[in-house]
C-alpha cells in the first residue's frame, strides 16, 4: 500500500468547515479504493460498501429517508453510532445504483461526524445513460490519476530523492540519480499494480501478465458503457488503438486505420475520456489569459499511462539503448510522460493542459504545452539535448506580454537569459523532465524570482 498524494487532499476535505460529500473520480485500477482504505485510518469507524455486491446495493433500493438510510447502513455493518466518534462511509462503484447517487445530495445534511465518499470509474457514462446526475453544488470532486514520479520515489524506497525533489532549485549533484530513476518510472509507468510488482521483483519480464490483465480489464468494461453492440465495436477499437496513437494529433475520421466515421469515433473517444482512459488535448491560439482550447482543431491524444503505452507499442526495449527519452519514438514519449505528470498536478479539477498552435499556410508553429500561471500563460517545450530548435517557442514569446519560457529536457537545471531571433529578451528555464510535477514551484522561481 503506497502513500498517494490524494490522501493529503482527502485530509483537507475532511477539515473543511462546510464539508460536502466527496466523489472520487479516476480510471479503474489507479488506486482509488486503496487510497480511501489508507485514509480511513484517521477514523474511529470505517464502513466500506461496494455496490457491485447485491447485499450492499440493496440498502439503497428501500427508498428510505436519509436518517433511516444511515441507520440501516450502521445496522447492516454492525457499527454503533456515537456522536463524538468519526465515521467514514465509502460507497464504491456508486454508478451501479442510481438511488445511491440520488441520495448523495442528502448526505450533505447528515451529522457532521459522518464523512461520505463515493467512487466509481464509469460514473459519467452510466449516469448519462440512466439519466441520473449528481446534485450540483452539494457534492465535491477529486480526480485521481496513475502514480506520479513524486509518488513512485517513496514507493521505491528512494526517500533521499524525495527530499531533493522538494528543493528549489534542485542541487546539481542530484541530477544523474534522479534522471535515472525517472527513466525507470517512465519505462514501467504509474499503475499501482505494475509499480508494486516491479519493486518486488525488479524484473520487467514478470510484468507482462500484469500489463495484459490491465488492458483486458479495460476491454471487458467496454460493454458496460456502450449503448449498443455497434458502438461497443467502435469503442473497443478505440481502446486497442489508443496506445498506438498516443502523443499524436489525431483525426476522428478513420482513427486507428479504421473505416469508422468521424461522428461515431468522436463519440467513442469522448466516452473513453469520460471514464478517464484517455484525454483529448486541444490546442489554443492564445498567448494571454483566458486560455481557451479550440475544439475545431485536431486534438492530441493522451493515454491513461505511459507504461501501458510503452508495453503495447513495444517501446520498452528502447529504454536500454538511449539515455534521452526524446531520442526515440519521434520524441512523443517524452511529451507523453510530461503530459501525464502535468495532468496529475491539480486533483481538484479535471482541466486539461492545452498546447499552443499558430497555423498559417506558410508558417506553422506548435508549442507542446501552455500553462497558466497567475496572469500569464507560460510556454513549455519538450526538447532533446541542449541545442534543440525553439522556433515555435520564440513565435509564442514574440506575441506574449511577458518574457518567460520553460524547456523540459534530459539535461540539468539551468536558468539562462537570451532573446528571440526578433530581439525580444526572455528568461529560459531549462528543467529536467523529472521536475515536471514541481512546475508550479519552478514557475514561481522563474517568474517571481523566488
The pLDDT tens digits for 293-308 are 999 999 999 999 999 9
Determine the pLDDT at residue 365: 94
Task: Indicate the burial class of 106 (C-beta count within 10 angstroms; 0-12, 13-18, 19 or more).
Answer: middle
Convert 218-228 to b/e letters by CB count within 10 Å (16 or more is b): beebbeebbee
Determine the pLDDT at residue 387: 45
The DSSP output letter for 363 is: -
Residues 305/311/316/317 CA torsion (nearest 10 deg): -170
Convert 134-166 to b/e letters by CB count within 10 Å (16 or more is b): beeeebbebbbbbbbbbbbbebbebeebeebbe
Determine the pLDDT at residue 322: 73
pLDDT score of 200 more than 60: yes
Determine the pLDDT at residue 26: 94
Determine the pLDDT at residue 42: 95
DSSP three-state, residue 237: helix
Q: How confident is the model at residue 20 (pLDDT cuts 50, 70, 90)?
A: very high
User: In degrees rounded to 5, what are phi and psi of residue 399?
Assistant: -105, -10
Determine the pLDDT at residue 164: 96
For residues 116-122, give the mean pLDDT. Answer: 88
What average pLDDT does the chain have? Answer: 92
142: CB partners within 8 A, 6+ apart? 6, 9, 10, 13, 22, 23, 24, 25, 347, 348
Determine the pLDDT at residue 414: 95
> pTM to 2 decimals?
0.94
Determine the pLDDT at residue 247: 93
For residues 58-66, give the mean pLDDT. Answer: 95
For residues 161-187, give the mean pLDDT. Answer: 95
Which region holds residue 202: left if phi is over 0, alpha if psi is between -120 and 50, else beta? left
Q: How confident is the model at residue 319 (pLDDT cuts 50, 70, 90)?
A: confident
For residues 68-79, give the mean pLDDT. Answer: 96
Residue closest to 308 by CA, chosen among 179, 221, 217: 217
Percent share of the chain, pLDDT over 90: 83
Q: Which of 9-18, 47-56, 381-390 has the lowest mean pLDDT?
A: 381-390
Which helix (DSSP H) or strand (DSSP E) does residue 284 occupy? strand 283-284
Distance of CA 61 to the CA centre of its chain: 33
Give CA–CA dist 246/4, Å, rounded. Answer: 26
Domains of the chain are: 6-143 (3.40.50.300), 205-447 (no CATH)
For residues 132-161, give the mean pLDDT. Answer: 90
Q: Yes or no: say if 319 and 328 are a contact pair by the CB < 8 Å rule.
A: no
For residues 252-274, give the mean pLDDT. Answer: 96
Give CA–CA dist 412/415, Å, rounded. Answer: 10
Give CA–CA dist 189/300, Å, rounded. Answer: 20
Give CA–CA dist 32/269, Å, rounded. Answer: 23
pLDDT score of 64 more than 90: yes
Distance of CA 275 to the CA centre of its chain: 12
pLDDT score of 178 more than 60: yes
DSSP three-state, residue 286: coil
pLDDT score of 127 more than 80: no
H-state helical runs in 19-139: 32-39, 54-58, 66-76, 98-107, 123-130
Distance of CA 43 to the CA centre of its chain: 28
User: 184: number of CA atoms within 13 Å, CB side?
Assistant: 18
Q: 432 - beta bridge partners?
A: 409
Give CA–CA dist 383/430, Å, rounded. Answer: 10
Residue closest to 14 by CA, chosen among 151, 103, 120, 140: 140
For residues 359-382, give the mean pLDDT. Answer: 91
Give CA–CA dist 135/273, Å, rounded. Answer: 22
User: In degrees rounded to 5, what are phi and psi of residue 375?
Assistant: -105, 25
Q: How confident is the model at residue 234 (pLDDT cuts 50, 70, 90)?
A: very high
Determine the pLDDT at residue 246: 95
Residues 396-430: tens digit of each pLDDT: 999 999 999 999 999 999 999 999 999 999 999 99
Amino acid at each position: 500500500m503506497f502513500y498517494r498524494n490524494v490522501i493529503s487532499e482527502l485530509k483537507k476535505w475532511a477539515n473543511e468547515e462546510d464539508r460536502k460529500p466527496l466523489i472520487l473520480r479516476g480510471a479503474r485500477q489507479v488506486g482509488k479504493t486503496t487510497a480511501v482504505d489508507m485514509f480511513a485510518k484517521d477514523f474511529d469507524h470505517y464502513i466500506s460498501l461496494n455496490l457491485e455486491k447485491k447485499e450492499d446495493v440493496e440498502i439503497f433500493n428501500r427508498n428510505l429517508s436519509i436518517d433511516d438510510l444511515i441507520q440501516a447502513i450502521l445496522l447492516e455493518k454492525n457499527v454503533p453510532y456515537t456522536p463524538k466518534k468519526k465515521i467514514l462511509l465509502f460507497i464504491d462503484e456508486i454508478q451501479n445504483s442510481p438511488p445511491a447517487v440520488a441520495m448523495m445530495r442528502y448526505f450533505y445534511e447528515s451529522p457532521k461526524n459522518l464523512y461520505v465518499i463515493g467512487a466509481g470509474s464509469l460514473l459519467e457514462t452510466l449516469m448519462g445513460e440512466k439519466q441520473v446526475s449528481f446534485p450540483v453544488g452539494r457534492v465535491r470532486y477529486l480526480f485521481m490519476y496513475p502514480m506520479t514520479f513524486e509518488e513512485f520515489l517513496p514507493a521505491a524506497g528512494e526517500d533521499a530523492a524525495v527530499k531533493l525533489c522538494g528543493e528549489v532549485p534542485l542541487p546539481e549533484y542530484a541530477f544523474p540519480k534522479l534522471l535515472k530513476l525517472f527513466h525507470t518510472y517512465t519505462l514501467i509507468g504509474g499503475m499501482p499494480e505494475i509499480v508494486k510488482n516491479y519493486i518486488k521483483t525488479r524484473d520487467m519480464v514478470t510484468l507482462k501478465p500484469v500489463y495484459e490483465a490491465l488492458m483486458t480489464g479495460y476491454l471487458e468494461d467496454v460493454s458496460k458503457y456502450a449503448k449498443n453492440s455497434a458502438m461497443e465495436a467502435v469503442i473497443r477499437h478505440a481502446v486497442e488503438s489508443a496506445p498506438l496513437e498516443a502523443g499524436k494529433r489525431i483525426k476522428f475520421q478513420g482513427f486507428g486505420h479504421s473505416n469508422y466515421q468521424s461522428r461515431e469515433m468522436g463519440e467513442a473517444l469522448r466516452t473513453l475520456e469520460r471514464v478517464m482512459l484517455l484525454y483529448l488535448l486541444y490546442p489554443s491560439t492564445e498567448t494571454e489569459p483566458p486560455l481557451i482550447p479550440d475544439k475545431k482543431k485536431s486534438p492530441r491524444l493522451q493515454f491513461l499511462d505511459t507504461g501501458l503505452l510503452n508495453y503495447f507499442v513495444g517501446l520498452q526495449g528502447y529504454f536500454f539503448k538511449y539515455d534521452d527519452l526524446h531520442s526515440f519514438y519521434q520524441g512523443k514519449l517524452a511529451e507523453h510522460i510530461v503530459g501525464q505528470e502535468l495532468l496529475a498536478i491539480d486533483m481538484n479539477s479535471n482541466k486539461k493542459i492545452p498546447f499552443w498552435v499558430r497555423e498559417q499556410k506558410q508558417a506553422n508553429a506548435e508549442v507542446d504545452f501552455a500553462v497558466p500561471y497567475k496572469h500569464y500563460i507560460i510556454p513549455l517545450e519538450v526538447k532533446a539535448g541542449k541545442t534543440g530548435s525553439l522556433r515555435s517557442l520564440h513565435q509564442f514569446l514574440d506575441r506574449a506580454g511577458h518574457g518567460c519560457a520553460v524547456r523540459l529536457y534530459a539535461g540539468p537545471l539551468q536558468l539562462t537569459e537570451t532573446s528571440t531571433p526578433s530581439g525580444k529578451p526572455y528568461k529560459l528555464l531549462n528543467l529536467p523532465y523529472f521536475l515536471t510535477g514541481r512546475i508550479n514551484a519552478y514557475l514561481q522561481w522563474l517568474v517571481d524570482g523566488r
